[in-house]
Structure 1
Amino acid sequence: MDAASVSRDAAPRPVAEAEQLLTRAQALAADRGGRAAARSATEYARRADQLWQASTGSPEHG
């Protein structure tokens, strides 16, 4: 989630889908729902990071 937060801060404009994904990830993490929730939270955060990276034109996370 930290990487997604950094990418959000570096993004030139808001990305609504990424914001929603990161919010879901943070909610899952806060609820402490076990391994399945942790995996889901990680995936949501990873996807949000990719969307923000794409908005900056970074080839790293395409």
Structure 2
Amino acid sequence: RGTKVRDHKFPKGEAVYKLLYLESERQEGRWAERRLKGFAEVREVLEKMLLERYAPRTQTLTHKS
């Protein structure tokens, strides 16, 4: 059920929040499907950099316990 705007006013204050919430949910769904151009090309490089930076740290933490 939609919220009707009469005389440029919302029926209740809560209606404004409901409208904002529903619109943000709709936008989130749209943006979740987007893909960055060129990301697939650099993904492997980024994963390698991540492992080089954080793998030694996680190995020392797991070996101590």
- Global fold match (TM > 0.5): no
Structure number with the bigger relative contact order (C-alpha 8 A, sep ≥ 6) is: 1
The TM-score, its normalising length taken from structure 2, stands at 0.40
Compute the TM-score of the two structures, normalised by the length of structure 1: 0.41
User: Which protein shows a greater Rg?
Assistant: 2
Higher-helix-fraction structure:
1
